[in-house]
A and B are shown apart, each in its own frame.
Chain A
Amino acid sequence: MNRILIVEDEESIANLIRMNLVKAGFQCELASDGEEAADRIGERNYDLILLDIMLPKLNGYEVLEYAKEVDIPVIFLTAMGDTQQKVKGLKLGAEDYIAKPFEIAELLARVETVLRRYKKTERKLRLLDIEIDTDSRTVLQNGRQVDLTIKEYELLLLFVRNKNRALYRETIYENVWGGEYNGVGRTVDLHVQRLKKKLGLEEHIAAIYKVGYRLQV
């Protein structure tokens, strides 16, 4: 289980992130200012740090230095739309940034991506009788390989990572295809239908009226 340190002085946002990350299967700890964060980084090992920039005592950039010393990847949480700050964060060695306000799916996707980049996620994801190897990008069902298109594979990954979470068509579209969802195309539905058929997930992927789909296990 991955351990994530959330450094955020705003209690409501810290709790929001923790609530969602815990539900997604991560272990979370909170630090509400820069000093506390630096202390915790020194004391324990984390797989990832979600770091706010404007913090009391020590700011995000300073905390980043501590994280780099022990080689923990950092994702900045920034309220500024300011490109310069994003660039500064990335230049200083942050893995990624998430601009506030953000959607939960985006948060989870970025967290997963960074963890995968650092090979800290499980290489093999399991769901019922399906096994997904994220390195070789192969899907096995009962030991037999299932051929999926790239989009179908991405779609499956999104469902598995967001188990028991209602995924809106727009969220699915934005995460798998990228870009703005115009709200009319049937692309998402067609791909979900095909995925269900190929993997026999008819009973587990439920359509939610007017919303999208949910993978229930």
Chain B
Amino acid sequence: MKLSWKLFFVTTPIFILFLTVFGSWMLEDNFRGNLDGEIQRCLVENQLFQNSYELTRNSLTQEQQEQISTERLVGSFYKKKGREGGSIRIYGQDGTILYEENELRLENSLLNRLSEEQNVGYELLRYGGQTYIVVMGRSSFGDYIETTRNITDIFEERIAMYSRYQGGVLGMSLLMGSMILLILFLVMRDIQKLSRATRQFARGRYDVQVDIRSTDEIGMLAADFNWMAGVMRQQMEKLQNEAKRQEEFTAAFAHELKTPLTSIIGYADTLRQMELSPEETSTCADYIFRQGKRLQALSYKLLDMTMADQKEITLKEIYVPDFLGEVARVAEKSLEEKKLRLWVQAQEGVIYGDRDLLSSLFLNLIDNARKVSQPEREIFLTGQVVPGGYTIAVEDQGGGLPPQEVSRITEAFYMVDKSRSRKEGGAGLGLALCQKIVDLHQGSWRFDNYPGVGLRVIVRLGIPEGVPRERRRKAVYGQSGIGRDRS
């Protein structure tokens, strides 16, 4: 059974039961009130009649009392009414009827019940489809005054009220039932939408969105679903992109591997099959050697990248002027051949990171600068304190890049100038590795490209969470120190 029917069948009977019980109680209470009021009125009426009777009788002399019939006596103060309203009767002490308004005579036991202590009483009686209240009081003359009143009205009113009320309850129940069904239907429609969307999502339609605009819990659930679907889709896309990048990397890697292998195998094959002149032999050997070196560089870089990938880095405080000094000392050797000059200038300050990886990052950047530089040019390595971190820049005079190449240079195996890069022993992995290191340090970097002039790579390293405030200040507002120029 559907949830909406379940809810319908549970709520509607409860509603009807509640209305019935509560309504009956209310009606009964109302009826009781009416009845009590009527009884009081009848008692008062009886009392009033008795008072009038006694007063009139008392005003008569003993003589007159005997001469005048009770009929006349009553007639002097009471006007007869129709039989339907009821009747008044007066009994003597012995029970004989002294006066009778009309012949409506209802059997009752009141005459026997009255005593010295209790001189008034009443009884409800049904007679001929009508309901009457009979009140009997004992007058000071010792006779009994019985007043009978037709109170069928209140009983009929009660029945009428009940039937009206039942109609009301029925109507209300129908209205409420249909309201509940309508609301449930609306809610269920939304839930069904959600359920449909979920099924679609499960079948791989990751762009599915639920169109529910209400602000209730279902609306919130729908919004949550949309949010979840969105996040999942992003994740999925990220994974797909990742897989695509991996695939591209593998393809590029296979290409990079096969190129030197082709040369090595080919020249070795030539050497072993042919009798070559000494010049030819040395050419072959040279190619084999150089391509072997290339393979070696490739494998080292790959190893570095794998290491960077797997490394759990611990961020250690590094004093920048010393650090850049070390980097420069290592780099200098490779710069000698081209007679390049490396200028180092660093403001006082610290960065947080893995010393080895950061060394590798800046050595790679300097090496790139070396590859593009003409002999006797200059390379600048500068450190600067910036709000919230520290930036280190490597700047060359190597002529910059064609503007359209800038966005691609961090791709693995991408080389702006393949033949020159190969000649310089590049594997096309340097910047991809650098990117990894920058990412690992949650830093950022920027390429300021000046075509025809040079390229400036600016690496920004932030201050990680958990560094004490005092240290942070020191790191951020570190004094601008004396540069350590080297040449």
Contacts and interface: CB of A to CB of B under 8 A. Distances in A.
B255 A54 contact: yes
B263 A166 contact: no
A11 B419 contact: yes
Interface stretch (A13-21, A144-152, A184-192): A13-21
Contact of A100 (B251, B261, B291): B261
Contacts of A81: 254
Interface in B275-289: 275, 280, 283-284, 287
Interface stretch (B66-74, B168-176, B266-274): B266-274
A16 B287 contact: yes
Contacts of A19: 270, 280, 283-284
A19 B269 CA distance: 12
Interface residues of B, number: 28
Given A10-B259, A104-B270, 10 more contacts: A12-B260, A13-B262, A16-B267, A16-B270, A19-B280, A56-B418, A101-B261, A103-B269, A105-B269, A168-B272
A16 B255 contact: no
Interface string A17-35: 1011001000000001000
Contact of B251 (A12, A20, A80, A101): A80
A13 B275 CA distance: 20
B262 A15 contact: no
Chain A contact patch, size range: 20 to 34
Contact of B266 (A32, A82, A102): A102
Nearest to A107: B266
B265 interface: yes
Contacts of A167: 273
Nearest to B259: A10
Nearest to B269: A104
A182 to B, nearest CB: 20
B254 A80 contact: yes
A87 interface: no
Contacts of A165: 273-274
A166 B284 CA distance: 17
Given A16-B263, A19-B280, A164 B275 contact: yes
A127 interface: no
Interface in B226-285: 251, 254-255, 258-267, 269-270, 272-275, 280, 283-284
A165 B280 CA distance: 15
29 contacts: A9-B419, A10-B262, A10-B422, A11-B419, A11-B422, A13-B259, A16-B287, A17-B266, A19-B280, A19-B284, A20-B266, A32-B419, A54-B255, A56-B418, A79-B255, A79-B259, A80-B255, A100-B259, A100-B261, A101-B258, A101-B261, A101-B264, A102-B265, A103-B265, A104-B270, A104-B273, A105-B273, A164-B274, A166-B274
B270 A20 contact: yes
B436 interface: no
Nearest to B274: A165
Contacts of B472: none
Nearest to B267: A16
Nearest to A211: B272
A107 B273 CA distance: 14
Interface in A65-89: 79-82
B269 A15 contact: no
A79 B287 contact: no
Contact of A101 (B265, B272, B280, B284): B265
A54 B413 CA distance: 13
A171 B264 CA distance: 18
Given A12-B290, A16-B267, A79 B274 contact: no
A172 to B, nearest CB: 12
B418 A101 contact: no
Contacts of A166: 272-274
**Closest 6 CB pairs between A and B?**
A100-B262, A101-B262, A12-B263, A79-B258, A16-B266, A101-B265
Contacts of A102: 262, 265-266
A123 B258 CA distance: 36
Contacts of B269: 103-105
Interface in A135-170: 162, 164-168
B277 to A, nearest CB: 11
Nearest to B290: A12
Contacts of B283: 15, 19
Contacts of A80: 251, 254-255
A10 B265 contact: no
A78 to B, nearest CB: 9
A110 to B, nearest CB: 14
Given A19-B280, A165-B273, A166-B274, A104 B266 contact: yes
B266 to A, nearest CB: 4
Contact of B418 (A9, A104, A162): A9
A216 to B, nearest CB: 9
Contacts of A168: 272-273
B250 to A, nearest CB: 11
B258 A10 contact: no
A162 B273 CA distance: 10
A44 to B, nearest CB: 24
A13 B266 contact: yes
Contacts of A54: 255
Contacts of B422: 10-11
A18 B272 CA distance: 17
Contacts of B263: 10, 12-13, 16
B9 to A, nearest CB: 63
A12 B267 CA distance: 9
Contacts of A105: 269, 273
A71 to B, nearest CB: 28
B211 to A, nearest CB: 41
Contacts of A101: 258, 261-262, 264-266
